[in-house]
Amino acid sequence: MDKDLVRGITFELDEEKRLGNMRIDWAGSKGNLCNQWNPTKLLMELKTGWKIDLKKLQQELNYLQFELLSSFERVRKYCKGTGYEMEQIFTISLDYYNYSVKLIPVKDAYSYIYAYLK
């Protein structure tokens, strides 16, 4: 994957297609990325019926977290500074799913990656 985040909303954000959100921050003891996945009811239903490829979803989420947002410095660059007033919304459409990303360039603040069905 070699796509990058795009500032603003580039596709319709349909909450009925939201699969879940990944809460992320960079407040770990070494400044590393910390995360927590919060699935929606839709994802649980699709998972039960084997109607979703969780491996592909995980690969795309890993790309976002560990390639594009791997350090707080990268977040600072995307947001063009630090502080709550520099919060930005980005979107990216990868091979299988769409994502919106809310970045707050404050180390101990939560940012979010929202995953959507295409």
Spell out, as residue ranges, where the chain has pLDDT lower than 70. Answer: 29
pLDDT at 82: 96
Helix (H) / strand (E) containing 20: strand 18-25
pLDDT at 29: 62
pTM summary value: 0.93
Q: Is the dihedral of CA 38, 44, 46, 48 positive or negative?
A: positive
* 76/13 Cα distance (integer angstroms): 25
Delimit the domains of the chain by residue range: 6-117
Here the tokens at position 99 are 């994502």
Helix, strand, or coil (residue 115): strand
* 110/33 Cα distance (integer angstroms): 11
**Torsion of the alpha carbons at 109, 41, 96 and 1, rounded to the nearest 10:** 20
